[in-house]
Amino acid sequence: MDAFFVSVEELYDPSLKGKPVIVGGKKDERGVVSAASYAARKFGVHSAMPLRTAAQLCPRGIFLEGHPDRYREYSHRVHAVLEEFSPVVEMASVDEAYLDLTGTVRLLGPPMEAAHRLHERMKQATGLNCSIGIATSRLVAKVASDQAKPNGILWVQPGLEANFLAPLDAARIPGVGKVTRARLEEMGIRKVGDLARL
């Protein structure tokens, strides 16, 4: 789901759409950003950033307390839509899931058709936008979904996974944070392709 917490807040208050919204608490609190709208991200705000840092980067940001009950409710709605498309749904978090579409071609069509149908159904049923990555593995599907944001679909066809990943910054791989990235850079590894050549 795209900027899930912010998107849910926008459903409750449509005047927030297109504005730099930061969910997590008041700008002068000691907490961290739970989610940032795409407008806030343009200022460098991102999740897990201290709220005070976010306020410095985006002084006109609209800071909101989170509403966990709302997010859980919408997460359940999202899950219900996903189950319409596959009996194998793995929720990775409140706003991210993996579907196994193996054997669904007769019902849903080829991968891109199935993805477009899911995309439309999600918007219709929840009012929320989602990004979809299609691939033969969870890792590549996750990276493809991130590349497709916001509100897009990206299919990495079988056999093209290495070509897709190679030019990407190594930090695009889930689990590669600041510390690992710094270590990789010390070894001269900046792109996924550099890592693959080891």
What CATH number does the domain containing 98 carry? Answer: 3.30.70.270
Same-domain pairing of 184 and 139: no
Together in a domain, 112 and 91: yes
Q: What is the CATH classification number for the domain harbouring 10?
A: 3.40.1170.60
List Cβ neighbours of 7 (8 Å cut-off, separation of 6 or more). Answer: 1, 128, 129
Range of the domain at 46: 4-66
Same-domain check for residues 149 and 89: yes
pLDDT band at 195 (very low <50, low <70, confident <90, very high): confident
Judge if 46 and 107 occupy the same domain: no
Can you give the pTM of this predicted structure? 0.90
**H/E/C letters for each residue in the chain?**
CCCHHHHHHHHHCHHHCCCCEEECCCCCCCCECCEECHHHHCCCCCCCCEHHHHHHHCCCCEEECCCHHHHHHHHHHHHHHHHHHCCCEEEEECCEEEECCCCCHHHHCCHHHHHHHHHHHHHHHHCCCCCEEECCCHHHHHHHHHHHCCCCEEECCCCCHHHHHCCCEHHHCCCCCHHHHHHHHHCCCCEHHHHHCC
The answer on pLDDT for 198 being more than 80 is no
Number of separate domains in the chain: 3
Mean per-residue pLDDT of the chain: 96
Same domain? For 45 and 9 the reply is: yes
Catalytic: 83?
no
> Catalytic: which of 96, 161, 185, 186?
96
Cβ atoms within 10 Å, residue 134 = 21
Judged by average pLDDT, the poorest of 39-43, 76-80, 168-172 is: 168-172
Clarify whether residues 174 and 134 are in a common domain.
no
Q: Are residues 136 and 187 in the same domain?
A: no
If asked whether residues 86 and 53 sit together in one domain, one would say: no
